[in-house]
Amino acid sequence: MEASTMARSLLTASPPLSGPRAHPEPLSSPPLRVHARFTRPISISNPKTSTSALRLEKINRFLTRCSLDWVETKADVPIEKRFPPFPAVMDINQIRNILPHRFPFLLVDRVIEYTPGHTAVGIKNVTINDNFFPGHFPERPIMPGVLMVEAMAQVGGLVMLQPEVGGSRENFFFAGIDKVRFRKPVIAGDTLVMRMTLIKLQKRFGIAKMEGKAYVGGDLVCEGEFLMATGSGSE
């Protein structure tokens, strides 16, 4: 009885506002609607207000329970099952049918994204068994920067040696590089993800300009501009 009397006295203590300022002006940084509804007092004489508040509270509890279930489920999954494999748009056999390179100089293991005549994303799995590690360097194995550039050029070749561009294995050459920067070392155990994008193609002169970027774990490790040329071996 005392609680209801106190509530009614609070509700009748201040007269309701009227006119254009009947509703309070919003703050400069208004809170989210859900939180704003919770800040409104629950009126005993207005069952709609209390019903809405209870409904929002139930929704909030449900979302919290779902988030906790998601965290527990993710934690229960072993780490070896949490990461999906890279997609295989082109496998190693398809790459060998396009590129003329062979061991030990074929530096692209898989293509995970390909847009004909525009871009390709390839990966190189760097392992301690690569033949360049014994000499570069014996005490600190690091993938040579020139081989990173060569691997990126081979990904670019997968774009250029396609009917959409007009190249072929017999008349395709790596003509030049510019603005190359090495950001971080690439070591054994890394997966080098390389994106090559065709920027400009001049079929009349057989010249193509490409932009290349290489990543390890989302970090940029190498970037540069590449010049590709098409023509006969005698030119």
- C-alpha R_g of the chain: 32
What positions carry a catalytic annotation? 136
Give the span between the Cα atoms of 121 and 220, in whole angstroms: 14
Domain range list for the chain: 21-80, 92-230
- Report the range of poorest mean pLDDT among 55-59, 181-185, 205-209, 212-216: 55-59
Which residues, other chains included, contact 231 with Cβ-Cβ below 8 Å and sequence gap of 6+?
171, 173, 206
pTM of the full predicted structure?
A: 0.66
Name the CATH topology of 92-230.
Thiol Ester Dehydrase; Chain A (3.10.129)
- Each residue of 43-61: pLDDT tens digit? 445 555 567 677 777 777 7
CA angle 200, 185, 217 (to 5 degrees): 75
129 to 69, 104, 111, 143, 222: CA distances (angstroms): 43, 11, 21, 12, 22
- Each residue of 114-163: pLDDT tens digit? 998 899 999 999 999 999 999 999 999 999 999 999 999 999 999 988 87
